[in-house]
Amino acid sequence: RRHASRQKFAQDFSQCLYDFVIQLLPTTEELAVKEDVRKLLERLIRTIELDSRLLSFGSTANGFSLRNSDMDLCCLIDSEERLSATDLVNMLGDLLERETKFHVKPLPHARIPIVKLSLDPAPGLPFGIACDIGFENRLALENTRLLMCYAMIDPARVRTMVLFLKVWSKRRKINSPYKGTLSSYGYVLLVIYFLVHVKSPPVLPNLQQVPPLRPISKEDTHLNGHNIWFFDDIELLRQRWKSSNTESVAELLIDFFKYYSRDFNYSSGVASIRAGLLKKDSKGWVSEAEKGSPRERNRLCIEDPFETDFNVARCVTRDGLYTIRGEFMRASRILSSRPERAIVALAQLCE
């Protein structure tokens, strides 16, 4: 009887998750407006740098986009002599201020110089647009492509899980690196890590470890000293790779919360989608608090897939991690109590 009731709950909850996520996807109209904005901005940037391209990355390009999410744009300049990012940010800021209706905020001295833009709500654009333009961030374009490939291998389960976690983490207010919690990018990596390395049998293959079809030279695989190769022939992969894991999206999500509330070793572990579970010690990512510094960098450790010396969760503070783990536990508790109706569980989760 208990098994049957668990099955029934998982089935209902999976359906609820699909229905919930679908209504949060961006409309085709929104996508079209955003593409128009990208083209307009690209045209303007070309008046400063003729050989430039403006590309989307982040959620607008990786298949994990929610309605009204921000646009992340990256400007690539193909010519040899180009202006510094700081000069470009200043010039582009001035130009956009003169030529467009955007609110413009250039941040030329940020760690990664960007121009922030926003557009007020208007008919057909009820939430306005927020957009960041950065320069030469080629690694971000590549990690966006990696996430997109993971999404395409098993869209029903992977996209549903990721989109749900993004909404959930925003509603529960644990999605802001500025306030000591984790970015969306960090949550996506936690999901992929779980599906590649924790679940057995795995739901996803490790795209960075699938052998290449033909030998490739080092120049083709490295960017700024980072190995950015991964298996990206998704059509072929879909023909050849079929996961023998048949768990439903609800079962996976329940297990995800359970794993991150009690099984993942936060004090010594590093989640790496490239290499599986690593040790903080072996990466030199010991907590700076332990070294007597008030700054906390390595409470939660998630290795970037390409920039392997970069901890994606470095902004997560002690309090932030405490709150995040508390939320994982809360979610786990709600789901294991299996309320009578799955929809009630979903509402409670995102309260």
CB atoms within 10 A of CB 348: 15
In degrees, rounded to 5, the angle at the alpha carbon of residue 183 between the alpha carbons of residues 182 and 184 is: 120
For the chain, what percentages of helix, strand and coil (3-state, to nearest 5) are there? 45, 15, 40
- H/E run at residue 187: helix 184-193
CB of 323 to ligand CTP, least distance (A): 18
Residue with the two structure tokens 């413009």: 104
Contact pick of 14, 52, 56, 144 for ligand CTP (by CB under 6 A): 144
Structure tokens given for 331: 């979610």
Beta carbon nearer to ligand CTP, 245 or 317: 317
Residue 312 interacting entry, from ligand CTP, Mg ion, none, C-beta within 5 to 8 Å by type:
ligand CTP
Beta carbon nearer to ligand CTP, 8 or 171: 171
Asked whether position 250 contacts ligand CTP by CB under 6 A, the answer is no
Q: Is 111 helix (H, G, I), strand (E, B) or coil?
A: coil
Chain residues 36-65 in contact with ligand CTP, contact rule CB under 6 A: 57-59, 62, 64
CB of 203 to ligand CTP, least distance (A): 20
Asked whether position 58 contacts Mg ion by CB under 5 A, the answer is yes
Q: Distance from CA of residue 333 to its chain's centroid? A: 25
Asked whether position 184 contacts ligand CTP by CB under 6 A, the answer is yes
Which residues lie closer than 8 Å to 213 by C-beta, 6 or more apart? 233, 236
For residue 124, which of 195, 8, 210, 33 has the smallest C-alpha distance? 33
Residue 104 interacting entry, from ligand CTP, Mg ion, none, C-beta within 5 to 8 Å by type:
none
Residue type for 328, please?
Answer: F
Asked whether position 30 contacts ligand CTP by CB under 6 A, the answer is no
CB of 187 to ligand CTP, least distance (A): 8
Cα–Cα distance between 272 and 277 in angstroms, integer? 6
CB of 141 to Mg ion, least distance (A): 13
Chain residues 66-95 in contact with ligand CTP, contact rule CB under 6 A: 66, 69-70, 72
CB of 265 to Mg ion, least distance (A): 29
Residue type for 246, please?
Answer: T
Chain residues 60-89 in contact with Mg ion, contact rule CB under 5 A: 70, 72
Which residues lie closer than 8 Å to 75 by C-beta, 6 or more apart? 45, 49, 52, 53, 54, 55, 88, 133, 134, 135, 136
Q: Which residues bind Mg ion (CB under 5 A)?
A: 58-59, 70, 72
Q: Which residues bind ligand CTP (CB under 6 A)?
A: 57-59, 62, 64, 66, 69-70, 72, 140, 143-144, 166, 183-185, 312
